[in-house]
Amino acid sequence: MFKVQKRQYQIDMCNGPLWSKILLFSLPLMASSLIQLLFNAADVVVVGQFVGKEALAAVGSNTNLINLMINLFIGLSVGTNVVVARDLGAGRHDNVSRSVHTSVTLSLVSGLFMLVLGTVMARQFLIWMSSPTDVIDLATIYLRIYFLGMPANLLYNFGAAILRAQGDTQRPLYYLTLAGVVNVVLNLVLVIYVNLGVAGVALATITSQYISAILVLRCLIREEGALRLEVKKLRLEWTVVWRILQVGLPAGFQGVVFALSNVVIQSSLNSFDDAVLVAGSSASANIEGFVYAAMNSFYQTALTFTGQNYGAGKCHRVNRVAFWCEGFAVAIGLTLGNLAYLFGHTLAGIYAPGEPEVIAQALIRMSFICCPYFICGIMDVMVGVLRGIGYSVIPMVVSLIGACGLRLLWVAIVFPMFRSPSTLYFSYPVTWAITGVAQIIFFLAVHKRAYLKVAGSDYLSTMEGKHPPVGAGK
């Protein structure tokens, strides 16, 4: 019998006020995401300052390709989060334990697969992306070393998803903070004093990833109750894998195709065969990443809060979760996106000091992406709510058509007519807006039917104003 006590790292998502708990959950998650981004940003800053713009372009040009390769499996961690959160909300603790052990096993198997695939195929992937000829050798070195850290990368993300399902976003933050400090120190040592260049920043990154993975694994092993990990129980239970895949596979596939559309845009930028343009775009992409990570914390929050409340049958709270998460995502996106552009010259200068042409290219991209970035936040939060109530395939299809498909059509039709980097960048806000509206319409169409599955007559009575559902929070 598992102990079911609320400890200091847990949040009761199914009772009490929502807005304060959403912030309590999302702020450490936001900080964790920003620190995780520093892994790659530290690489870019160090090579930009101490190696040169070719090395900067080599590291930055790998970003979309790396995202393409790992997004499928990171999507599976979304499935883990939703499955564990629902079972916790419903009090099915035996199912939680089985999901924990299956998820950790799945992360290790997936990580080893990615390690082999990435190290063997690294150069060929870059060739397919039309990587500039003057940086492809350096980019290949970075990519091969980066993929040696894939087991740790996936283990951390799956482990953190398990902890988030019970409301624990604090400990993953502590682990990433420690790993981030190690990453920065090793970057400086390996690049400045050992002169390893691109290889040095890659080695620093994977070292920090293994540190964070070991810490989250240690946390799960020492955990009490249903989330406790026992090494002897590690196995793939196919019924649990199937539950995870139902949510995680569409999420992962959507992430893959999104990343693929970004790879196509990156390839179109590469077609200019201009290292200055690629370096400027890479610097901007890293700055944008911090804005996106801040907004995306509310997607993760919506996913987890919705999963627990939906599992507990408290559907009236799901609507409030959607309202608060959308509001916070818009506020963060508008504020940080416009601040990033306002101070864009200074921020881009961190990545490319003494390179005015690179900074100018970065500012062009930021004007099209950072300022309207809040639209992407609206789209993502609604997808999180839909996945939390059991809809994962249709939001994937909507996103693939509305964002990815239109983006690819843009590259195929609009870009040849107006061949410039600005044309490529403008495709982002247009496709975010179309997809966001479509996701909201879909939610309005299906949410009542979804609520009836878990709340039944209680939900109908609530909607008619007769009485609140059993166990409803304040």
- Tens-place pLDDT, residues 220-275: 999 888 889 998 999 999 998 898 888 888 888 877 777 777 778 878 888 787 77
Q: What does the alpha-carbon distance between residue 331 and residue 19 come to, in Å, rounded to a whole number?
A: 14
Instruction: Report d(CA 374, CA 392) in Å as an integer.
Output: 22
Q: How confident is the model at residue 23 (pLDDT cuts 50, 70, 90)?
A: very high
Rounded to an integer, the average pLDDT of 149-156 is 93
Q: Output the pTM of the full model.
A: 0.79
What pLDDT is recorded for position 7?
57
Q: Which of 205, 228, 114, 218 is nearest to 172 (CA)?
A: 218
| DSSP code, position 87 | H
Q: How many CB atoms lie within 10 A of CB 82?
A: 31
| Alpha-carbon distance values, 365 to 34, 249, 288, 357, 374 (Å) | 21, 31, 10, 13, 16
Q: What's the pLDDT tens digit per position in 171-197?
A: 988 998 898 889 889 988 998 888 888
pLDDT in tens, 106-131: 999 999 999 999 899 888 888 887 77
φ/ψ of residue 235, rounded to 5: -165, 165
DSSP state of 469: P
Q: Check pLDDT > 70 for residue 339.
A: yes
Instruction: Indicate whether 457 pLDDT > 60.
Output: no
User: pLDDT at residue 43 above 80?
Assistant: no
Give the pLDDT of residue 5: 43
- 337: pLDDT strictly greater than 90: yes
Given a cut of 90, is residue 462 above it in pLDDT? no
Is the predicted pLDDT of residue 382 greater than 50, yes or no?
A: yes
3-state secondary structure 217-274: HHHHHHCCHHHCCCHHHCCCCHHHHHHHHHHHHHHHHHHHHHHHHHHHHHHHHHCCCC
The confidence score (pLDDT) of residue 322 equals 94
pLDDT band, very low/low/confident/very high, at 40 (cuts 50, 70, 90): low
Domain range annotation of the chain: 19-456
**What is residue 474's predicted lDDT score, i.e. its pLDDT?**
30
- Least confident segment among 52-61, 114-123, 363-372: 52-61
Per-residue pLDDT at 203 exceeds 70: yes
As given in the structure block, the two tokens for residue 352 are: 């490319």
Whether 2 shows a pLDDT value over 70: the answer reads no
pLDDT for 458 equals 56
Q: pLDDT value at position 3?
A: 44
pLDDT, residue 338, reads 94
Please report how many Cα atoms fall inside a 13 Å half-sphere around the Cα of residue 398, on the Cβ side: 23
* The pLDDT of residue 471: 35
CA 354 to chain CA centroid, nearest Å: 32
Provide the sign of the torsion angle of the four alpha carbons 130, 131, 132, 137, taken in this order.
Answer: negative
pLDDT in tens, 264-308: 887 888 878 777 888 888 888 878 888 988 998 999 899 889 988
Q: What is the rounded CA–CA span in Å between residue 94 and residue 225?
A: 10
Mean pLDDT of the residues in the chain: 85
CA distance 150 to 116: 9
